[in-house]
A and B are shown apart, each in its own frame.
Chain A
Amino acid sequence: MSSFLPMGPKILVLTPEIIVFGGSVVTSIIGLSRSKTLRKSVPLLAAITLLASLVALAMGYSHESAEQAGVLMPHFNKIIKAIILVVGIGLVAISVGHIDRRMEEAVARGATTFDPMRVVRGEFYSFMLLSICGAMLIPGSPDLIWLFLALELTSLPTYIMVAMSRGTRRAQEAAVKYFFLGAMSTAIFLYGFALIYGSTGSLQLSTIREVFADQSARGGIDTLGITGLILCILGFCYKLAAAPMHFYAPDVYEGAANPVTGFLSFIPKIAGFSALAVLLSTVGWSSHAGFSETGAPINGLPAPILATLWMICALTMTLGNIGALLQKSVKRMLAYSSISHSGYMVLAIIAGPGLGFEALLFYLISYGVTNLAIFGALSGLQKRGEDVESFEELSGIGRRYPGLAAWLAIGSGSLMGMPPLLGFWAKLMLFMAGVQAGHTPLVIIAAINSAVSVWYYLRLIGVPSLSPPGTSSEGVTKGPSSWPRFAGAVASVAVILLPLFASRILGNSAEFAPTNAKPTSATTPTAPVATPKQTTENSRQETPRQDNTQIALHSSPTRL
C-alpha cells in the first residue's frame, strides 16, 4: 500500500469542494422554508456558494500543495475546477424559475398554500451542487476509489435532477433511461477498474503509472491492463455521451427540462473528460508528437488505447452530426451536437498533454460558455408554462425577442466554429493539437464534420431570426425569470469577447504535463527537414525510428 498522504495540503486543496458541499447542505434546507423570499434565494445561495468556492480556488490553490496532495496534474486540475465553477454559476442562473414553477405560480395566485412536501427546489439545487462537487473532485483524484466515488457523485444527483426537473412523463422516462444505462456504464468502468487493479496491483494512480511504465518498458502493458483501460474508456464514454455509449443522450436531453439539459450536456461531460485524462495519464502520452520518418504518428498512448480512442473519436463526431441533421426538436438536435462535440474533444485527449490538454480545456470553456448562451436563451422562453423544444416553436421569435434569437445565433455560430467566435479558436487549437499529434486524418474527419454540422446550426440561427412566425410559435413568451436570459446574454458576450483573453486564461502550455511524468516534453524536431530537392530525388525509405523513451509504443499481440 502506498504512502498515506498528508492531510493538511489535501484539505487545502479540497477547500473549494468542501465549500460546495456545505452549500448543497444549506440549500437543501433553505429550499423548504415557508418564506417565499428565502425560497427564492436558493439559487442565489447556490451561486454564492460556487462563487465562494471559486474564490477559494483562486486564493488557496497552489501547485505545491496539490502535488503534495497527490494530484497528478495540478494545473489541469485547477483549470477544470475553475471552468466547472464558472459555468456552474451560469447553469444555476439558467435554471432559476424553472423548478417548482407551477407550485410557485399557484402559491402566488393563492390557489394553494405552500407545502414543503411538494417542493423540490432546495433538493434540486442541492443536487446540482453535489454533482458539481463530484465533477470538481475528479481531476484531482489520486486513486481509483476516489475517481469512482467522484464519478458516482457526479452522476447520481443528475439522475434525480432529470426526474424532478419537471413533472412530465417524459422527464421520468428520461430519468429512468439515464439511470439504468448509467448504471450499466458504471458497471463497465468499474469492471475496468478491477482489471487495472489486477494488472497493476495498486489503486494509486501514481503507482499504476509506474507499473504501466515498467510493463511497457518490458514489451508492453499486459492484456489485463489494456482490457481494463478499454473498459474504463467505454464506461466513461457514457459520461461524455460519446459513441458507442451515446444512445441515451437524445432521449434524456429531450426529456429533461431545458436548464437540466444544459447541465447534463456540460457537467458530466467535463467530468468524463477529466476522468479520461486522469486515467490515461497513467499510461502516458508523449507530450510532443510529430511524424516519424514514414509519416506514421508517434504517440505515447499504447496502440490499442489509441485505436479505441481513434475509433471513438471518429464515430462520435460522425454519428453526432449525422444524427443532428434530422432533428425537429431543438433539444434533440443539441443532444446530437453535444455528442459530436465530445467527439472533437476526444481528439484533444488523443493529442495528450501539452497542446492537446490546452485545446481540451479551451474547448471545454468554449463549449460550456456557448452552451450557456444557447440554453440561456432556450430557458428564457416558455410556452404556456412549458419548455420550448421544437424548431417550430422557435420560428420567428426573433421578431419579438431579437436578443434571444441573437444569443441562439451567436451560440450556434460558436458551436459550428465560425470565426471570430470562441468556438472557432477552440476548434483551431484542437486541430492544431490533432495535427501536431500526427492525427491529420482525424483532423480532416473533424473538419468535414464541422462542415456538416453547419447545416443544423444554421437552422438554429435561421429559424428564430429568419423564418416567419408560425402557429406553434405564437404562444411563446418570455420565461418567468429574467436570470436565464441574463446568463445567456453574458455568455453570448463572453463568446464574442473571450477570445481576446484566451492567452491569459490558458497560461502556459508547458504546465499541462502530468507532474510526475517523465520529462518527455523536449521539443526536438522529429523529422529532419526535407527540402523539396531532396524529396524529389529520393523516395524517402528510411525505416521508422524506434523511440525507446516513449512509453509503450507497441504491445505484443501475443499477450492478448
Chain B
Amino acid sequence: MIPMLSITDTHADSPAHAVVTAIVNAIPSPELGWTGWILLLPAISVVLTGLCCALRVKSKLPGWITVLALAGSFALVLKLYFLRGDAGAPVVVHLWDWMNFSWGDQNKWHALQADVSLYVDSLTLFWLLFVTGLGTLIAIYATEYMEADVGKGYARFFNGVSIFILAMCTLVMADNLILLYLGWEGVGLASYLLVGYYYKKPSAVAAGKKAFIVNRVGDLGLAVGIWLIWVNYGTIEFNTLFQVWQDMERGVGGFDKSLIPYCLMLGAFGKSAQLPLYVWLPDAMEGPTPVSALIHAATMVTAGVYLIARTYPLFTLHPDALATVAWVGGLTALFSATIGMAQYDFKRVFAYSTISQLGYMFMGLGVGTTFGAAYHTLTHAFFKALLFLTAGAIMHGFAGQLDLRKLSGLRKVPGFKIVSWTMLIGCLWLSAFPYSAGMLSKDVILVQALGGKDHGFVWLGWIGLITAGMTAYYAFRVWFRVCAGPVFYMPGEETHDDHDTHDAHHDDHGAQIAHSAPAANSSHEFHPHAPRWAMNGVLIVIMLGAFATGIPGYMEMRGQSNWAQVMMAHSSAFAGSVQAHVTDAVNFGMNPHQLVELFGTIASLGGIAIAMYFHLLQRKSADKLRAWLLAHNSIRWIPVAMENKWYVDEFYHACIRGPAWIAGQILHFTDKHVVDGLMVNGIGRIPAALGRLFQPLYNGVLQGYATTMAGGAALVVAWVVYRWLTSGVGA
C-alpha cells in the first residue's frame, strides 16, 4: 500500500520523472565507514585551527588547514557520489552510540535511540556536494579576504568556518533527528561565533546573539517536533520513520500527530529565516562577508529546506501543513523583496534577497516540487554566494563601503573588472534573467504553483511572479548603482591598520557604531584595494558553477532526465510529491509552463528595465520618486515602512523583548523583596518576633516570675482540663 507514491506513477507523462515505487530501506553499510572522514576532516580542522589560535600562529596556516580539510571532505563527498551514482539506495553508516538506551523490551517505545550514525541518500549527497564544494571555495576566498587579520582573528575565523562545515555536514548526514538537532544547533553556534567575529563592534555582538536566540525559538519547535515524533512513532531514526510514514494514510492521526509538521516547520523557518523568524538574517550581515556568503546565503539557511525535504514523507501526510509551508514561503518572498527594494546597504539587499529566495524554496516544497526547491537551493547557493563574494570584494577594496549611493562605476575601476562582471552574472541569475539557471529553477517552482488546484496555490504563483519582478529590480538597482555609471567612490570608514574595525560598514539606519572614525575620506586620497588571484579565481569558479547549475534546468526543460531530478527522485524527499501534473491547469488560456515563461520574462526584463531607468540612466529621478512618495501623506508610509523594514524588529522589541525584560525586572524585584525579603526573611523573623513577644515576662522581678510561673501552671492545668472535658483523649 503505497499511496503517496502512486502520484508519480499516474502522472508519468513526463519521461524525465523516474518512477520510484517506495522509499528504499536503508542498508547498514559498515564498509562505508570512511564517510565518517567527511565529518572528521572538518573536526580535525577545528582542533588544528583552535591550536593555531592558542599558539597565536602568525601566518595563513589556519586558512590553508581549513581549505585542505574542506577540500578533503569535498573529495570524499565526490568519491561517495561517484560510488553510488545519482540513484543509489540509501545507506546507514553507524559511527558510534550516542544518546542510546533502552528499558523494557516490549516495543520500540522502550528505547531511545539516537546514535552518531550517518544516513546517506541522494538528498544528503545533493546537499553535501554544494556544502562542501562551496565551503572549500569560499574558504579559499577567505584566505585572502581575511588576510588583514592574520595573527589576530584569522585562526578564529577559520575555526568558526570549520565548526560550521562540521555541523552542517552532521546536519545533513544525520540518521536521526537528535543528531540532526546537534548539527542544527552546531551551525547556529558557528553562525553566532562568525557573526560576532568583529567582537568589538556592539552591533556585531548583538547580531550574533540575536541570530542564536531567534534560532533557538525555531529550535524549540524542532525539539517539540522531535518529541512528538518519538511519542507517536516510537523512533526518531529517519530510516524507520520513513518506513512507518509510507505505510500510513494521508491525514490519519490525532491532533498531536498533525502538529508535528508545524513544529518542524517552526524550526525550519527559524533556521531559514522565514516569516516570522527572519529578523536575524539581515543583522547577521555584520559578520565577515565570506561568512555571509557561505552560511547566510548558500548553505546554513537552506537547512530548513533540507529539514522539510528530509521529512517530506511526513509532510505529504498533512497537506494543510504543506500549504502552510508554501504560503509562508510565498509571503516571505514578497515581504522581504519589498524591504530589499528600499535598502541602501547592498549587503543587506542581498540578505533580503536571500530571505526572498528562501521563500521561493519553501514555496516549492509547499506546492509539491521538492525537485524545484532543491534545485533552486542549488542555483541560489551559487549565484548568491557569488553575489556576496563580489560584495565582499568591494568591501575589501573600498574599506568596508557598502552604501550603494557612495559607489559607482566600479567596472571601470582598475582591478574590479572581474568583480563587476561576475556580479552582473549573479544579478542576472538572481533576477531570473531568461534562460539563466536562476530562472530555470524558479520556473520549476512557479509552474508547480500555478498548476496547483487547491490551497490557492495559483495566487501564490502570481505572488511569485510579482516578486520575481521586484527581485530583478532590486538586484539591478545594486548593479547599476555600483558597477555601472560614472566612476565615483567613497571609501568606508575602516583602515587596514586597524583590524578591529575591518569590515565595519556603514549602517544607514542608525545602528550604533562604536568607533565613529571620520567617514569622509576623500576619494582621491584613497586607493582601492583590488582583489588578487584567490578572490578573483574563486569568483570565476563560482561563476562557472553558477552557469553549470543551469544544466539540469535545461535538461529538465527539454524533458530529459537530469542528475538533480534523479537524485531527488531517489530520495525520500520525492516520495509523495505532486509534481508534473501541471499541464491540466489553464490560466489565460495558457498552461503554467507557458504562463511562467511569458510572465517570468516580462517580470525579469521589466524589473531590470525599471532599475536601469532609475539607477543608471536617470539616477536623480529615483530620488525624485522617493521625495514624491514622501511628500504625500497618504502614501508616505510605503517608503518609510519599507526602508525601516516594516518595523518588525521594533515590533518584536516592543511586544516580546520589552515585556520580557520588564517581567525580568519585576521578578527580580519580587525575588529580592517578596520571596526572599517577605517570605524567607519574614518567616525567619517569626521566631525572634515571638521571642520579643515573651520578653516582657522575663522582667527580672521575683514576684513577676512567681506570678508568671503560677499563672503558667494554671494555664497548663486549665488547658488539660479543657482537653479532658472536650475530648477525653490526651493530645
Contacts and interface: CB of A to CB of B under 8 A. Distances in A.
> Do A and B touch directly, given a CB cutoff of 8 Å in the complex?
yes
B617 to A, nearest CB: 84
Nearest to B705: A247
A20 interface: no
A554 B729 contact: yes
Interface residues of B, number: 32
A244 B695 contact: no
A11 interface: no
Given A245-B709, A296-B729, A307 B723 contact: yes
B675 interface: no
Contacts of A301: 730
A188 B731 contact: no
Contact of A439 (B710, B721, B731): B731
B712 interface: yes
Contact of A243 (B687, B712, B717, B720): B712
B702 A177 contact: yes
A418 interface: no
A560 B713 contact: no
A302 B721 contact: no
B688 interface: yes
B695 A247 contact: no
A176 B730 contact: no
B698 A310 contact: no
A297 B727 CA distance: 14
A230 B709 CA distance: 14
A306 interface: yes
Nearest to B693: A322
B719 interface: yes
A301 B728 CA distance: 13
Contacts of A325: 687-688, 691
A305 interface: yes
B590 interface: no
Given A244-B709, A244-B713, A245-B712, A323 B719 contact: no
A301 B729 CA distance: 11
Interface string B688-731: 10111011011010100110111111011101110111001111
Contacts of A455: 687
A247 B708 contact: yes
B728 to A, nearest CB: 6
A245 B712 CA distance: 8
B730 A251 contact: no
Contacts, number: 115
A308 interface: yes
A230 B691 contact: no
Interface in A318-362: 318-319, 321-326
B51 to A, nearest CB: 47
A301 B720 CA distance: 14
Contacts of B720: 230, 304, 307-308, 311
Contacts of A302: 730
Contacts of B712: 243-245, 247
Nearest to B692: A326
Given A304-B723, A323-B691, A326-B691, A181 B728 contact: no
Interface string A540-560: 000000000000001111001
B721 A560 contact: yes
Q: Kindly name the residue among B713, B725, B730 whose own CB sees the greatest number of chain A CB atoms within 10 A.
A: B730
B698 to A, nearest CB: 6
Interface string B393-418: 00000000000000000000000000
A237 B716 CA distance: 12
Interface string A201-230: 000000000000000000000000000001
A299 B692 CA distance: 36
Contact of B706 (A184, A321, A439, A554): A184
A180 B701 CA distance: 12
A303 interface: yes
Given A177-B705, A308-B716, A311-B720, A303 B690 contact: no
B706 A250 contact: no
Interface string A308-320: 1011100100110
A244 B687 contact: no
A302 B728 CA distance: 10
Nearest to B703: A180
Interface string B662-696: 00000000000000000000000001101110110
Nearest to B722: A307
16 contacts: A180-B706, A234-B717, A243-B712, A244-B709, A245-B712, A245-B713, A247-B705, A247-B709, A248-B709, A250-B698, A307-B719, A325-B691, A442-B731, A555-B728, A557-B725, A560-B724
Given A244-B711, A247-B697, 19 more contacts: A177-B705, A184-B706, A230-B717, A244-B713, A244-B715, A244-B716, A245-B713, A251-B705, A297-B731, A301-B730, A302-B730, A303-B729, A307-B720, A318-B690, A322-B694, A326-B695, A555-B724, A556-B728, A560-B724
Interface of A: 176-177, 180-181, 184-185, 188, 230, 234, 238, 243-245, 247-248, 250-251, 296-297, 299, 301-308, 310-312, 315, 318-319, 321-326, 439, 442, 452, 455, 554-557, 560
